[in-house]
Structure 1
Amino acid sequence: MQNKPGSKKTIAIIGAGISGLSAAAYAAQAGNKVHVYEKHPQPGGRARQFKTENGYVFDMGPSWYWMPDIINGFFSDFGYNATDFYHLVSLNPQFEMIFQDGIVKVPESYEDLKALFETLETGAGNKLDSFMKSAKYKYEVGMQDFVNKPCYSWSEFFSPKIAVSAFKLDLLSNFRAYVSKYFSHPKLKALMEFPVIFLGASPKNIPALYSLMNYGGYVLGTWYPMGGFYQLVLGMKKVAEEQGAVFHFNQNVEKIITEEGVAKGIMVNGEFKEFDAIIASSDYHHTETLLSSELRNYGEKYWESRTFAPSCLIYYLGFKEKLPNLKHHTLFFENDMDDHIDTIYKDKKWPDKPLFYVCCPSKTDPYVAPLGHENVFLLMPLATGLPDNENIREYYLHDMIKRLEQHTGINDLISKLDYKRSYCVDDFINDYNAYQGNAYGLANTLSQTAVLKPSIKNKHLPNLFYTGQLTVPGPGVPPSIISGKIVAKEVNNLT
C-alpha cells in the first residue's frame, strides 16, 4: 500500500446491509472514494423490504426498533436526527407475551411496568428499579466503552474506567442466575430472559452483562418507524450518498483478487475493479471463500466449532380482514422456553412445541396493508443447518395459525389469507450466503465475545476488513451500525 495514514483511498464495500451502509457513510465522510456492491436490487440485506401486487408492504427481517439512542447516534454523526428521515412511534403496549394461563402486556411507561411487576410478585417493582439501575450502568459503559473497539487485543480494554467497571458489568455470571437473584415469578423471568434468546444461546450461557438489553428495550422503549423498518435503511443510504458513496445494485462480487500480499480489487459480474482497500459486509464465512484457502483467517473446522445465533422460519401473511386482540408485537410463550431453546443450541432439531413471535405492523401503520386488511409477520427461531422444505414449513405454519386463532378468536384463518410467503434456512443461504442459514450471526457467549470473535482484519492481507454480525461487536441492528463505524475508522487509518 502506498497510502499514508488518513490519506484518501478508493474503497470497495461488499454488501449493502446495515453494517455496509454504516461503513460506507463513515468511510466516505473521511473523504475516501467509496463504492458499494450489492447483489440484490436494493439495499438493506436482511433488513430489505418487499411490496406485493395486492398492496402489502413487508419488512423482511428486523422489526424491533430498540436502542433508539444508538441508531440516532449514527445520524447525529452526520448532522441529522433519525426523525429527519422517518416518523418514530412509541408503541403502547411495547408488546404482549401469551402464556398458557394468561397474557402479560408490557406497558410503554416505566412506572406502569413497575406496577405490573408488583402485581405479579410482591416487592418486584422495587427489585426492577435495582435491576434497571445496574442495567443502565452496563448499557452506558458497554455501549460506549466496550463495543466501539476493534478488538485486536485485550489490551484495548486495559483502562482505569473499564477496570473499575469490570465487576459491575457481571461478565462472568450467567444471565439466568442473574435474573433469578431479582425475580422468582416464572412470567417475570420469561419477560426478562426473552431478549437474549436472539443473542445466540440459552440464558444459562449468556453473560449477565446483557441485562443492558432489558434497559435498551423496556426503559428506552419499543419504537416503530412509520413506513416500516426499511425507512432506517433508506435513511442510512441517503446519508452515505450525501457523503459521496456510490451504490451499485445487482452486482455480485465473485472473487477478491490478491497480489503480493495485498487485496488488489474484486471481480464483479465477471469484471475486475481495482481498489486500495476492501470492506466485506457480506457473510464472513462466504467472504473468505472468495479468497484462496491460504489467505483465509479461518478454516472450516473453526466455523464448525462456533456457536451460532438462530436461524428462523418466517411467514409473511396478508389477511383479508382485521384480527382482533392482536398487538403490534406479540410473543407466543405458551410452551416451555427451555425445551425450545434446547432444540436450537443443544439438540439441533425442529422443535416439538415451539415458541414464536408475531409482528402486526398494520395495527400501527396503515401504509403496510390494504384498507381493512392485516399485515402479519410470523417468526419461529430455529437451529442453523436444519433440513428445510415446504412441507416442514407448512406444518409449523398450521401450528402457529392454530394458536393465533385461539388468541384472536377467529376460526379458519387460513381461508382469510390473500398473501403468503415463507422464508427459512435455505433462503438465508441462497439470498445472503449465510453460513448454515444463520439469521443473526454468532452467539454472544463469553467464549465468543470481543477479541474472541472473528477478527475485523484479514491476517494475511492488510487492506481487507470484515464488518457485520459475524464479527465485533455482534448481532443486531445497533451493533451492526457500530461495526461499520469501527471498520471505517480502521480503514481510514490504513497505511
Structure 2
Amino acid sequence: MNTGNLRKRIAVIGAGFSGLSAAAYAAKSGNEVHVFEKHDRPGGRARQFVTDEGYVFDMGPSWYWMPDIIEDFFADFDCKTSDFFSLVSLDPQFEMVFSKEKVSVPENNEEIRKLFENIEPGAARQYDKFMKSAQFKYEVGMKEFVKKPCYSWFEFASLKIAGSTLKLDLLSNFRTYVSGYFTDPKLKSLMEFPVIFLGASPKQIPALYSLMNYGGYVLGTKYPMGGFYQLVLAMKKVAEKQGVHFHFNHDVQKINIEKGKAASLTIDGENYEFDAIIASSDYHHTETLIPKSLRNYDKAYWETRTFAPSCLIYYLGIKGKIPHLKHHTLFFENELDNHIDCIYKNKKWPSKPLFYVCCPSKTDPDVAPEGCENLFLLLPLAPGIYDDEQVREKYLTEMLERIEKHTVETDIISRIDYKKSYCVSDFISDYNAYQGNAYGLSNTLSQTAVLKPKIRNKKITNLFYTGQLTVPGPGVPPSVISGKIVAAEVSKLKIK
C-alpha cells in the first residue's frame, strides 16, 4: 500500500478560482494533476470575452478586495502578483448614489474618516472603533478561521480562535451591529453594502463579516490593469509552472465509482482513470454525476438551503464618454430591504431595484475602443426566477435611465455600440449552477463553517469538493483558500 505522500494522479473538474488554486497546490505537492474545463478557457464565472468592436468584458468578479489574501497565494509559489499584472488603487474606491445625494468613498483612510464625520458628528471616532474590531476579525477570520477543512467544531479549539469567540461576534447580526456604531442611514448603507456579496440580508449575516469592511475600505479597492481576468491567467501560469495539465472543451459527464472509490471520469465517451478527484464544479451538479445512494446531500437538502442571489448582468459598449460616472457605482436610491425581500421572501423581480455599475474604462483605456466606455451592469435577483429577453430589456431600460439621471447624460441608450445580457438561465447552462445562483450559499450563521456542505464525500473516499458551495464560502479570496484547503486534504489521502 502506498502512503499519502506518494505521487497521485489527480483530476480537477473546473478551472474557476478554486479549481486553479487546488490544481496548483496539488501539483506543488508532487502530484500529476489534470484540469478538465467545459469551456474553451479558464476562469469559470470570471471568464473574459472580447468583442469585434474592441470591448474587453470581465464576465464576473470586478471588486478586487483583500489583496493580501490573493498575494498569499502567489507567495506560496515564490512569486507575487506584480510578476503577472499591475494593480492600481481606485480613488474614489466607489460612489454610492442615494435618492437625493451621492457619496464617494475616497482611497485614503483618513479621508474616509473625514467623510464620515461630515455626514454624522462623532462618526470618525466610531469608524475607528468599528475598523479596529473589523481588523481583529479579519486577522482571525481570514488568517485562521477560514483555513479549516471544517469536518468538526474541534478544529476551532485553538487558543487564538476559541479565545476570540465573543470578539468575533458570531451571534450578533450585522444590521444590529452596524446600528450600534452609526445612526445616519447613508453611513449604515455604506457599511452594510459589502455583505450583499455574501448573499443575504444584513439582518441574517453574522457581525463577524465586518471583516469585509476592513478588507475593502481600509486595505483599499484595487483593479488589475487588463481586467480581473489577469488574475485568472496569472493563476493558470502558476499552476502550469507546477506541471498542471489543462484540458479545455472537456465536459465531464460521469464520475465512475468502483469499490467505494472514484475510479475514473467519463468525458466525451472516454474514461480517464485517477487516484483522486477534486470537483470545483457546482457541488449539486457534481453529485448528479454519481449514484444517488453515494451523494452527500439529497434533493430536500438543497431545497432547504439559503442561496446567495443570482443576477441580471448587462455587458454594454457605449460610444463616447460618460464624464460623471466612476469606476464602481452603487445605485441605492431605493430601500435595500424591499429589494432583499424580493430575493429571499417573495422570489420575484424587484419593483424598485438596486443595482451596480462597473465602468473599468475609467481606469483602463485598453478595455474599450478609444473614446468609448465599457459598462458592466449587475442587478441581484432571486435564484430560480424566470427570465426572458423581454424582462431583461425592461430592467436594462430602467437602469440606463437612472444612470442618465445620475450622470446628467441624456443619450446613453442611443449610444449603445455593443450589448449582451446574462441572467439566471445562463448561469444554469454555462455553469450548471443550482437554480442559477451566482455566488453560492449565503453566509448565514446556519450555513457557516462546519454547517456548510462538506469538502469530502462521506462514502467515496477519494472524491473532494471545492469552491463557493463549500468551505469557506463565496467570493474570490475564499475560493482561492478553498482550493488550498482541499489540496491539503487530498495530499493526506492514502492510495493502493
TM-score, scaled to structure 1? 0.99
Q: Secondary structure at 2:203's aligned position in 1?
A: helix
Task: Supply the distance in 1 between the matched residues of 2:77 and 2:448 (Cα, whole angstroms).
Answer: 29
Q: Distance in 1 between matches of 2:2 and 2:39?
A: 32
Deviations 1:415-448 (A, max 9, x none): 1011000000000000000000000000000000
**Deviation of 1:413 (Å):** 1.7
In 2, Cα distance between the equivalents of 1:242 and 1:411? 50
- 2:230 is paired with a residue whose SS is helix
- The superposition leaves residues 186-213 of structure 1 with CA deviations (integer Å, 9 ceiling, x where unpaired) of 0000000000012111000100000000
**Deviation by residue 1:331-362 (Cα, 9 ceiling, x = unmatched):** 00001111001111111111000000000000
Check conservation: 1:3, 1:494, Cα contact below 8 A: no
Q: Deviations over 1:444-469 (max 9, x none)?
A: 00000000000000001010000000
Query: 3-state DSSP class of the match of 2:65?
Result: coil
Matches within 5 A, 1:5-154: 5-154=4-153
Alignment of 1:319-398 (within 5 A): 319-398=318-397
**Following the alignment from structure 1 to structure 2, what is the Cα–Cα distance between the partners of residues 175 and 250?**
42
Structure 1 window deviating more from structure 2 (353-362 vs 198-207): it is: 198-207
In 2: Cα distance, 1:213 partner to 1:273 partner:
41
1:335-393 Cα distance to aligned partner (Å, 9 max, x none): 11110011111111110000000000000001100000000000000110000100010
Q: Is the 8 A contact 1:261 1:460 kept in 2?
A: yes
Amino acid at match of 1:262: K
Provide the secondary structure at the position in 2 that maps to 1:224: strand
Q: CA deviation at 1:306?
A: 0.1
Supply the AA of the counterpart residue of 1:138: K
Whether the aligned pair in 2 keeps the contact of 1:22 and 1:236 (CA below 8 Å) is yes
Aligned to 1:269: 268
Q: What secondary structure is seen at the aligned counterpart in 2 of 1:357?
A: strand
Deviations 1:43-69 (A, max 9, x none): 000000000001000000000000000
Deviations 1:1-32 (A, max 9, x none): x4312211000000000000000000000000
Q: Within 2, Cα distance between the matches of 1:28 and 1:291?
A: 25
CA RMSD in angstroms, aligned pairs only: 0.6
Identity, in percent, stands at: 71
CA drift of 1:158 comes to: 1.1
Structure 1 segments unaligned to the other structure (5+ residues): none
Cα distance between partner residues in 1 of 2:261 and 2:327: 49
Counterpart CA distance in 1 for 2:30 and 2:366 is 38
2:426 alignment partner AA: D
Q: Which position in structure 1 is the counterpart of 2:232?
A: 233
User: What letter corresponds to residue 36 of structure 1 in structure 2?
Assistant: V
Alpha-carbon distance in 1 for matches of 2:267, 2:387: 30
Give the C-alpha shift of residue 160 in structure 1.
Answer: 1.6
Deviation, structure 1 residue 238: 0.1
Contact 1:316 1:376 in 2 (8 A): yes
Q: Is 2:442 the counterpart of 1:428?
A: no
Where does residue 453 of structure 2 map in the other structure? 454
Deviation per CA, 1:162-191, whole angstroms, max 9, x where unpaired? Answer: 121111000000000000000000000000
The Cα shift of 1:412 comes to: 3.0
Asked if structure 2 preserves the Cα contact closer than 8 Å seen for 1:428 and 1:437, the reply is yes
Larger mean Cα displacement after TM superposition, 474-483 or 161-170: 161-170
Q: Is the 8 A contact 1:3 1:9 kept in 2?
A: no
Which amino acid in 2 is paired with 1:133?
K
Which residues of 2 match residues 282-321 of structure 1 at below 5 A? 282-321=281-320
Distance in 2 (alpha carbons) for counterparts of 1:413 and 1:90 = 27
**For residue 161 of structure 1, what is the aligned residue in structure 2?**
160
1:192 aligns to 2:222 (yes or no): no
- Helix, strand or coil at the partner of 2:64: coil
Equivalent-residue separation in structure 1 for 2:318 and 2:160 (angstroms): 53
1:437 aligned onto 2:467: no
Q: Could you tell me whether the CA contact under 8 Å between 1:313 and 1:425 is conserved in 2?
A: yes
Q: Distance in 1 between matches of 2:406 and 2:188?
A: 22
Counterpart of 2:176 in 1: which secondary structure?
A: helix
Q: What TM-score results when the alignment is normalised by the length of structure 2?
A: 0.99
**Any idea what SS the aligned residue of 1:182 has?**
coil
Shift of 1:101: 1.1
Q: Please name the residue that 2:170 is paired with.
A: 171
Structure 2 unaligned runs (5+)? none
Name the counterpart of 1:467. 466
Which range is displaced more, 406-415 or 249-258?
Answer: 406-415
For residues 297-326 of structure 1, what are the alpha-carbon distances to aligned partners after superposition, in whole Å with 9 as ceiling and x for unaligned? 000100000000010000000001100100
CA distance in 2, matches of 1:453, 1:318: 39
| SS of equivalent residue, structure 1 residue 165 | coil
CA drift of 1:255 comes to 0.2
Q: Distance in 2 between the 1:71 and 1:18 partners?
A: 11
Q: Secondary structure at the match of 2:163?
A: helix
Equivalent AA in structure 1 for residue 469 of structure 2: L
Match of 1:282, SS?
coil
Q: Matched residue of 2:357: which SS?
A: strand
1:99 & 1:255 partners in 2: Cα distance? 49
What's the offset of the Cα at 1:228? 0.1
Secondary structure in 1 aligned to 2:68? helix
Q: Output the amino acid matched with 1:261.
A: G
Deviation digits for residues 271-303 of structure 1 (CA, Å, limit 9, x no counterpart) = 100000000000000000000100100001000
Query: 2:254 corresponds to which residue?
Result: 255
CA–CA distance in 2 between the matches of 1:346 and 1:193? 19
**Contact 1:455–1:471, Cα closer than 8 Å, also in 2:** yes
> C-alpha separation between the residues in 1 aligned to 2:324 and 2:208?
35
Structure 1 residues 234-268: Cα deviation after superposition (integer angstroms, max 9, x where no partner): 00000000000000000000000001101001001
Answering whether residue 413 of structure 2 is matched by residue 414 of structure 1, we say: yes
Aligned length: 494
Report the 3-state secondary structure (helix = DSSP H, G, I; strand = E; otherwise coil) of the residue aligned with 1:375.
strand
In 2, Cα distance between the equivalents of 1:473 and 1:228?
A: 25
Secondary structure of residue in 1 paired with 2:104: strand
Write out the 4+ residue segments of structure 1 that deviate beyond 6 Å after TM superposition. Answer: none
- Give 3-state SS (helix, strand or coil) of 2:114's partner: helix
CA distance in 1, matches of 2:135, 2:2: 42
Deviation at 1:414, TM superposition (A): 1.6
Q: Distance in 2 between matches of 1:322 and 1:377?
A: 15
1:88 deviates by: 0.3
